Structure formats: C-alpha cells, structure tokens
Amino acid sequence: MNFAPLPSVDAAAVPSDGFVLDVRENDEWAAGHVEGALHIPMSDFVGRFGELTEAAEDGRRVHVMCRVGGRSAQVTQYLVQQGIDAVNIDGGMQAWDGAGRPMVTDNGAPAFVL
C-alpha cells in the first residue's frame, strides 16, 4: 500500500485568518486556545463531523490542532480521506505558544497550554 505523507504545517506558518480546528478536550481548550477556532474534541469528532463540514463548506483549508500533534494527525488523516483540504499543525498548541502566536480563554484568564 502507498500512504501519502500527512500534510502538515508549522505553527508559525498558519495564516492569521486561517481556519483552525482544535480537537483537544474541554479542559485543554479552557486553559487556552486560538481565537476563532472551531472546538470539536477528538472524542466527539465522529458525532459532530457535520459541524466541521458545515464550517469548511467553502473549501478553505482546515488547520488541525491538538496539544503536541498526535491526535490532530489522526483527525487530519481522516479529513483528507473524506476529501477535505486539511493539514496537521506540527507540534500543536505547544509549538503555537512557542512561536508566540496569540491565545485566548473564554473567561479572560491568562491563556496557557494544558
């Protein structure tokens, strides 16, 4: 079998207006996330897949995020198999934070990577 390499992108290279899908769990999301990201925990992903297809129906690229890149790699692979233009964010939120990219919380507390 021939497996194509998983499409991935460096956290620093995600466009500031890029569409980010965060597949971390609720406690991780609450600690800090990318403003405007769509949050669908990996554990809920199949059941909530329609939310993503609706959000990405304009064909824009989906930048998939988790903490370090493992869960998001699995979701990215699934999305690519469904014909969606998806890329894994290398290093996840840790790389995002390390690149000095902005993070927010829903309650206004200082954001951090859990």
Biggest distance spanned by C-alpha atoms of the chain: 48
Catalytic residue among 66, 79, 89, 93: 66
- Alpha-carbon distance of 98 to 101, in angstroms, equals 8
- Alpha-carbon distance of 69 to 83, in angstroms, equals 21
CB atoms within 10 A of CB 108: 7
Helix, strand, or coil here: 71?
Answer: helix
66 is catalytic: yes
Point out the residues that are catalytic: 66
